Amino acid sequence: MTASEVTTQTRSTPEIPAKAPSGRPRKRPNRARVLLYVALSGIALIILLPLVWIVLTSFKTDFNAINAPINPIPNPFTTQAYQTLASGQQPIFLWFLNSLAAALLQSAIILVTASLGAYALARLEFRGKKIVFGAIVTTLLVPPVIFLIPNYLIVQNLGWLDTIWAITIPGAASAFGIFFLRQFFVGLPQEIEEAARLDGAGDFRIFWQMVLPLARPALATLAVLSFLNNWNDFLWPIYVLLSPEHETLQPGLAVLQGAYATHFSIVMAGAIIASIPVLILFTIAQRQIVESVASSGVKG
Amino acid sequence: MANIVQPTLPAAGARARGRAGVQRRTGTAYLFLAPFLILFCVFVVAPAIYGLWISLHTWNPLLPLQPWVGLKNYIDLFTPGSLTSGDFWQSVGNTGIFTVASVPLLLVIPLVIAVLLNQKIRGGTVFRAIFFAPYVLGVAVIGVIWRYLLDPQLGVVNHVLGALGLPSNIPWTVDVPWAWISLVGVTVWWTLGFNTVILLAGLKGINVDLYDAAAMDGAGAFRKFWSVTLPGLRPVMTFVTTVTILASANMFGQSYLLTKGGPGHATRTAVMYIADEGLSQNQMGAAAAMSYVLFAILAVISIINFRLQRERS
């Protein structure tokens, strides 16, 4: 409203409409389309603004973060918060390495166990197939909280409390990987096996030399999703990791929040460090991540 | 908690059976399945049964004996005035408040956004990626950043409200109902992209001919949405509703970080209480019993949900 008034008042020549894309019938953007873009941009702002604000806050001085929260621009711009974290009481870079090791290890375990299992469920006929499959399906509808207490005791009995095993092995028993890969394996043409069998290849060779190479995109997507899932895990590591040097980043953020309370620039710097690998993965594999989520409801 | 993807249910009997030349290879199949099945039995099947066993005892790992008490832990939960029943049902009620407040928003807002994204627009995938982005961040990151943004004294939100001449002393994280508004709002902000992406895929799966047919019958935009879009979206909507209810019912991290379950225990959720009772207070028998009661409640709700969705179709 005001913008158009300003335009008509200050400019003598009317705005020349932007060049229409060549080869298309020229169409003036109607009001509904403009509104559509305004609405979508508005939502995008609501999503992005808090994140941008956090990044900027992490580069503020502690004093500015507390006393001038409404000014988004860090003035002076400083990496003081990151330095405090690096030299502080909390071993945040150790947590980073712990998180990285756990997420990589669990992804690797899931890739191996799920691809082998999914191959059997998708490509082999065997006794008890329906029962095994049914059991795995059923667990998807069970709320994870019922495993909390007993798995804690199982992990304790295995001597795994406060070790990387506690945060990698039990979670690798998730049914998701098997489902995800099974769906992909089912779709591969039957001729692969038939030709290989005629050449005398065994099941494992078919799996290893024929099926797995074809499944590379699916395996990569599963690896990314498993990594994200483990990296972001929060409840379970709070209780099974005990010593500060074995902590991972997500529960570590709760520790930072307790330790630095209102020193917000420091806590925000921690949140950013905890988000970097995830955001890198999302940037690289955005399409695969979003597509795999998108298809989950449609195929279901 | 933050499952990146909810698994799809398998298409039953998708594979043709009895194909010529397909032999049973039971031994080989179980060799392939063995690594997964070992993990599955030890960390899924065994704890499901072990948890029931624990719930029938007064199970405190710090004491030398874990005496059998039969159904006492369950009976206590249903006995007003017992040690656990008040706190437990308050926490279940809190989870209920959160679920009832967040699920409708997490269905309607993503549906509206999905409809917007389904128009012929440029940059659709960019918008989709932006809306989805917060979801890849962990609940811990979401919790600490919003704990800062919503801080009643030092937070940006109140300062911005103040600058706009609005009340700037809203107790976002320390008083109800504001704490609920914060928890629900943050959760919607965090996960709306997940539901949007699934619903958008559902919209794209609706046959375009149906819209053309409706247009020939003189249907307007609203009528088309009501008679073509919504019915076409029903299976996907059922899936999204189920997934969202389950995720809301398992809420833990947001309360843990934003409100610490407060004020008092007003925003302490069921999962938060069970984890605290079992793993911090060492009342494992009682906590295991609670987790099964919660499971039973969720099972009933899921069945009702499925029935309702089926009746409508």
pLDDT tens digit sequence for A21-57: 444 555 556 888 899 999 999 999 999 999 999 999 9
pLDDT-wise least confident of A51-65, A180-194, B97-111, B299-313: B299-313
Asked if A45 is an interface residue toward chain B (Cβ–Cβ < 8 A), one would say: no
The answer to whether residue B181 is domain-embedded is: yes
**Res B309: pLDDT:** 78
Q: What is the CATH number of domain A89-260?
A: 1.10.3720.10
CATH of the domain at B272: 1.10.3720.10
Q: Count Cβ atoms below 10 Å from residue A73 Cβ, excluding itself.
A: 10
Asked if A239 is an interface residue toward chain B (Cβ–Cβ < 8 A), one would say: yes
The answer to whether residue B245 is domain-embedded is: yes
Burial A111-127 (b: 16+ CB within 10 A, else e): bebbbbbbbbbbbbbbe
Residues A95-134 pLDDT 10s: 999 999 999 999 999 999 999 999 999 999 999 999 999 9
Residue A8 to chain B, least CA–CA distance (Å): 29
- List of chain A residues whose C-beta atoms are within 8 Å of the C-beta of residue B35: 112-113, 116-117
The verdict on pTM exceeding 0.90 is no
Crossing angle of helices A216-231 and A176-186, rounded to 10°: 170
Cβ atoms of A268 and B37 closer than 8 Å: no
Q: Nearest by CB to A116, which of B36, B127, B151?
A: B36
Q: Nearest by CB to A126, which of B24, B144, B279?
A: B24
Residues B218-266 pLDDT 10s: 888 888 888 899 999 988 998 999 899 999 999 999 999 999 998 999 9
Residue B212 to chain A, least CA–CA distance (Å): 20
Tell me which chain A residue has its CA closest to the CA of residue B147.
Answer: A257
Euclidean distance between CA atoms B175 and B169, whole angstroms? 11
Residues A262-284 pLDDT 10s: 888 999 999 999 999 999 999 99
**Res B12: pLDDT:** 39
**Res A2: pLDDT:** 39
- List of chain A residues whose C-beta atoms are within 8 Å of the C-beta of residue B34: 116
- Mean pLDDT of all residues in A91-98: 94
**Res B313: pLDDT:** 61
- List of chain B residues whose C-beta atoms are within 8 Å of the C-beta of residue A254: 140, 143-144, 256-257
My answer on whether omega of the bond before B177 falls inside 30° of 0, hence cis, is: yes
- List of chain B residues whose C-beta atoms are within 8 Å of the C-beta of residue A139: 40, 44
- Looking at the predicted structure, is the pLDDT value of residue B273 above 80? yes
Euclidean distance between CA atoms A249 and A270, whole angstroms? 9
Average pLDDT, chain A: 87
Tell me which chain A residue has its CA closest to the CA of residue B190.
Answer: A47
Residue A279 to chain B, least CA–CA distance (Å): 8
Cβ atoms of B247 and B191 closer than 8 Å: yes
Residues of chain A with CATH 1.10.3720.10: 89-260
State the total domains in chain B.
1
The answer to whether residue B269 is domain-embedded is: yes
**Res A140: pLDDT:** 81
The answer to whether residue B28 is domain-embedded is: no
Nearest to B121 by CA among A294, A38, A22, A288: A38
What are the φ and ψ backbone dihedral angles of B68, each rounded to 5 degrees? -70, 130
The answer to whether residue B16 is domain-embedded is: no
